[in-house]
Each structure stands twice: as structure tokens, then as C-alpha cells.
Amino acid sequence: MRFLLRLASLVALAVAVIAGTIDSIQSVAASSVVITPMGDAWQDLSPSSLEILQSSIAYYIHPRFYTIVFQWLMLQPAFAVFLVLSLLLWMAGYKKPPVAGRFAA
């Protein structure tokens, strides 16, 4: 399970780097800071899955959760959302080193 969490963390980190690179390229081209919100990036990639998730959250979890938390999350920069997701997945899959050390008897 740790391997899958660390692999998902690596994938999320790669997506964050790609999103940050795209934002930086657009910023240089526009000569101003361009930060793509998560909702816009998701809408560009797969609008049908975004609509399905929105309706599922509003129906199964709670409509207020959708209006407060999900919409706030969709306004955040895409690279930041994936960086935080990567960190959380890495922390969940982290293996603590043994206390006694490597060469303890």
C-alpha cells in the first residue's frame, strides 16, 4: 500500500510540475503573471468528469460542502493543489526509519 501511495505522490508531483511549467510559459508569453485555477484546468481537460463530480458531491455529500469547499478548491492554482496532494500522499506512505539505527543489534 505504501508503494501505491508513493507512486500516486510521484504522479501528483509530476502533474504539479507540468502545471507550473505551463503557467510559467504562459506568464512569459503574456508578460504578466498567469496562474491557472484548478477548475479551469480541469474544465479544459475533461469537462464531463468535472460535471459528474460536481453533481455527485452536491447530491451524495452535501450541497453546502459543494458551495463552500469544492468551489474554493477549484479557484486555487492547479500547481498548488497538486503539490499539496502530492505532499499528503507522500506523508500517508512515509515509512519511519527504525529508532535504533541501521547497525543496531
Give the residue numbers spanning the domain of 63.
37-76
Give how many domains the chain has, as a whole number: 2
Residue 99 lies in a domain: no
Residue 104 lies in a domain: no
Residue 47 lies in a domain: yes
Residues 3 and 20 in one domain: yes
Residue 101 lies in a domain: no
Total residues found in the chain within this entry: 105
Residues 71 and 61 in one domain: yes
Q: pLDDT tens track of the chain, all 105 residues?
A: 999 999 999 999 999 999 999 999 999 999 999 999 999 999 999 999 989 988 888 888 888 887 888 889 999 999 999 999 999 999 999 888 777 766 665
Residue with cell 458531491: 57
What is the pTM assigned to this prediction?
Answer: 0.81
Q: Measuring CA to CA, which residue among 5, 73, 15 is closest to residue 45?
A: 15
